[in-house]
């Protein structure tokens, strides 16, 4: 009897919830057609925040991805500091806090994943790859918080008022992703030199031919030289593909969310928010894993 | 009981492996896709820059774009074959570790 009333009450709550959601949907659609709500201008480059403070290096004001990037860094540094404090406390009292156990569990999962990909050299690659993973993950997910892209300053632009958002997902700016990609590809060269020594450079500048090749020797030497040139182009295009994949995915996600929220308000964006959470995780995972794959490939000679 | 533990362990490493494989395919696949296009764009940029510098507008742009178009697939082929090779070697190591 008790359970029956309980389930009835729950059913009523669900029904009310659906009704409220539908009402909000209808209100959103009504509001859109009754007011002249305009779609915001979608800008591919990060907008500049118009602040009167003269900052060195930012003549037109800092880009609106900068606060997000700093926020992400602060969050990660804070977690690190809290973790080291919790670790010290655990060493003193012998009692592990929930926070410590949670961070340990996440790190163990990421480490075992990295070990699965990188094998014996995981110890050397893990700090950088995990930093990529956590930075990109936190930056992607903070970009989905309410207020991002919608909270800003109205500014006259070519005579028309335009909203300059104060926050924008850090990876929705090509500068951030290009910086990450440059660090990753330079690290590939570093690990190659560290584990193979100078012979690593033979990948790029190789004009040798096997001694038993006879009269074909110059041809093979030229072919090897051309292959080295291709290797150089391949390293440079790695930077671009890293940067453009991450930027494209995250920026497309932001545009998708804006468009959907202006097609049908309130509830319709929720599944797309879920999709963006998933895309943010997958892109962070892919970036870190590809870095690991390239580091592993750079360690052994081909 | 012991057999069950071994079974569940194998199952677990199997799922971890399949997650790894999925992300690997996603990563290397998308990387290969963009790397096919990147040399053409790079050739376009470099060629256009050289042409602006030397005042020979269509020449270097065309040559560099052509090099990019030919080089792109070769780069992708080399990258993917190497990545597959190292991936398979890694998988073998894991299997060896499990046994």
Confirm whether A12 is domain-assigned: no
Residue-level pLDDT at A37: 58
Domain span at residue A91 reads: 60-299
| Lowest-pLDDT choice from A185-189, B10-14, B62-66, B86-90 | B10-14
- CB contact under 8 Å between B71 and A230, yes or no, is yes
The model's confidence at residue A190, banded by pLDDT at 50, 70 and 90, is: very high
Chain B residues lying within 8 Å of A302, measured CB to CB: 82
- CB contact under 8 Å between B86 and A285, yes or no, is no
Mean pLDDT of A245-258: 90
pLDDT at position B16 over 70: no
pLDDT at position A212 over 50: yes
Residue-level pLDDT at B82: 86
Calculate how close chain A gets to B71, using CA atoms only, in Å.
Answer: 7
Using CB atoms within 10 A of its CB, is residue A168 exposed (0-12), middle (13-18) or buried (19+)?
A: buried
Report the alpha-carbon distance of residue B15 to residue B17 in Å, rounded. Answer: 5
The model's confidence at residue A295, banded by pLDDT at 50, 70 and 90, is: very high
Q: Which residues contact A121 (CB under 8 A, 6 or more apart)?
A: A191, A195, A295, A296, A299
Whole-angstrom CA distances from A279 to A75, A181, B48 are 21, 18, 35
The model's confidence at residue B10, banded by pLDDT at 50, 70 and 90, is: very low
Phi, psi of B51 (to 5 degrees): -65, -40
A190: helix, coil or strand?
helix
- CB contact under 8 Å between A286 and B30, yes or no, is yes
Report the alpha-carbon distance of residue B10 to residue B2 in Å, rounded. Answer: 12
Please name every residue paired with A55 in a beta bridge, in sequence order, or none if there are none. A58
C-alpha angle with apex A284: A280 to A289, nearest 5 degrees? 145
Chain B residues lying within 8 Å of A117, measured CB to CB: 20, 24, 90
Confirm whether A16 is domain-assigned: no
Mean pLDDT of A131-155: 86
pLDDT tens-digit readout, B22-76: 888 888 888 888 888 888 988 899 899 999 998 888 888 999 999 889 888 988 9
Is A300's Cβ below 8 Å from some Cβ in B? yes
Report the alpha-carbon distance of residue A260 to residue A264 in Å, rounded. Answer: 6
Percentage of chain A exceeding pLDDT 70: 90
Confirm whether A20 is domain-assigned: no
- CB contact under 8 Å between B83 and A293, yes or no, is yes
pLDDT at position B97 over 70: no
Residue-level pLDDT at B56: 83
Q: Which is more confidently placed, A266 or A174?
A: A174
The model's confidence at residue B1, banded by pLDDT at 50, 70 and 90, is: very low
pLDDT at position B99 over 50: no
Residue-level pLDDT at A189: 93
The model's confidence at residue A121, banded by pLDDT at 50, 70 and 90, is: confident
Q: Which is more confidently placed, A246 or B57?
A: A246
Tally of structural domains, chain A: 1
Residue-level pLDDT at A30: 58
CB A116 within 8 A of CB B16: yes
The string of DSSP codes covering A83-104 is HHHHHHHHHHHS---HHHHHHH
Mean pLDDT of A44-68: 77
Q: What is chain A's mean pLDDT, rounded?
A: 84
Is B19's Cβ below 8 Å from some Cβ in A? yes
Confirm whether A45 is domain-assigned: no
Report the alpha-carbon distance of residue B88 to residue B3 in Å, rounded. Answer: 28
The model's confidence at residue A32, banded by pLDDT at 50, 70 and 90, is: low
Residue-level pLDDT at A148: 81
Helix, strand, coil share of chain B (percent; to 5): 95, 0, 5
Residue-level pLDDT at A147: 77
pLDDT tens-digit readout, A72-116: 999 999 999 999 999 999 999 888 888 999 999 999 999 988 888
Confirm whether A172 is domain-assigned: yes
Domain ranges of chain B: 20-98
**Nearest CA-CA partner of A268 in A279, A252, A256:** A256
Is A234's Cβ below 8 Å from some Cβ in B? yes
Residue-level pLDDT at B9: 47
Phi, psi of B35 (to 5 degrees): -70, -20
Confirm whether A10 is domain-assigned: no
Joined together, the tokens standing for residue A57 give 């290096």
Specify whether the backbone of A94 is left (phi greater than 0), alpha (psi in -120 to 50) or beta.
left
Confirm whether A185 is domain-assigned: yes
Is A206's Cβ below 8 Å from some Cβ in B? no
């Amino acid at each position: 009897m008790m359970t029956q009333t309980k389930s009835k009450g729950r059913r009523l709550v669900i029904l009310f919830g659906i009704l409220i959601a539908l009402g909000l949907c209808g209100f959103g659609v009504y509001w859109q057609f009754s007011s002249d709500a305009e779609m915001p201008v979608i800008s591919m480059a990060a907008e500049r925040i118009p602040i009167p403070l003269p900052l060195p290096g930012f003549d037109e004001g800092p880009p609106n991805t900068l606060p997000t990037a700093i926020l992400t860094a602060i969050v990660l540094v804070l977690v690190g500091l809290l973790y080291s404090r919790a670790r010290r406390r655990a060493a003193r009292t012998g009692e592990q806090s929930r926070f410590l156990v949670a961070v340990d569990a996440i790190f163990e999962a990421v480490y075992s994943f990295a070990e699965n990909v990188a094998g014996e050299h995981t110890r050397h690659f893990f700090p950088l790859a995990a930093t990529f993973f956590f930075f990109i993950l936190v930056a992607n997910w903070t970009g989905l918080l309410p207020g991002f892209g919608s909270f800003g300053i109205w500014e006259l632009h070519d005579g028309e008022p335009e909203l300059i958002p104060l926050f924008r997902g850090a990876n929705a700016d090509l500068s951030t992703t290009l910086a990450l990609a440059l660090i990753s590809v330079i690290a590939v060269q570093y690990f190659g030199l560290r584990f193979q020594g100078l012979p690593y450079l033979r990948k790029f500048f190789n004009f040798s031919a096997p001694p038993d090749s006879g009269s074909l020797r110059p041809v093979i030497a030229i072919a090897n030289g051309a292959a080295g040139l291709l290797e150089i182009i391949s390293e440079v295009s790695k930077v671009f593909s890293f940067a453009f994949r991450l930027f494209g995915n995250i920026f497309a996600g932001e545009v998708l969310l804006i468009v959907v929220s202006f097609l049908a308000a309130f509830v319709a964006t929720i599944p797309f928010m879920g999709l963006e959470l998933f895309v943010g995780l997958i892109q962070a995972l892919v970036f870190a894993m590809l870095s690991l794959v390239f580091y592993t490939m750079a360690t052994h000679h081909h | 009981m012991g057999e069950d533990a071994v079974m569940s362990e194998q199952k677990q490493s199997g799922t971890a492996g399949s997650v790894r494989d999925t992300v690997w395919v996603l990563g290397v696949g998308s990387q290969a896709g963009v790397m096919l296009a990147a040399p053409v764009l790079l050739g376009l940029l470099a060629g256009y820059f050289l042409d602006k510098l030397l005042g020979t507008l269509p020449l270097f742009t065309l040559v560099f774009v052509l090099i990019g178009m030919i080089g792109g697939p070769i780069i992708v082929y080399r990258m993917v074959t190497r990545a597959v090779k190292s991936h398979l070697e890694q998988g073998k190591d894991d299997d060896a570790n499990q046994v």
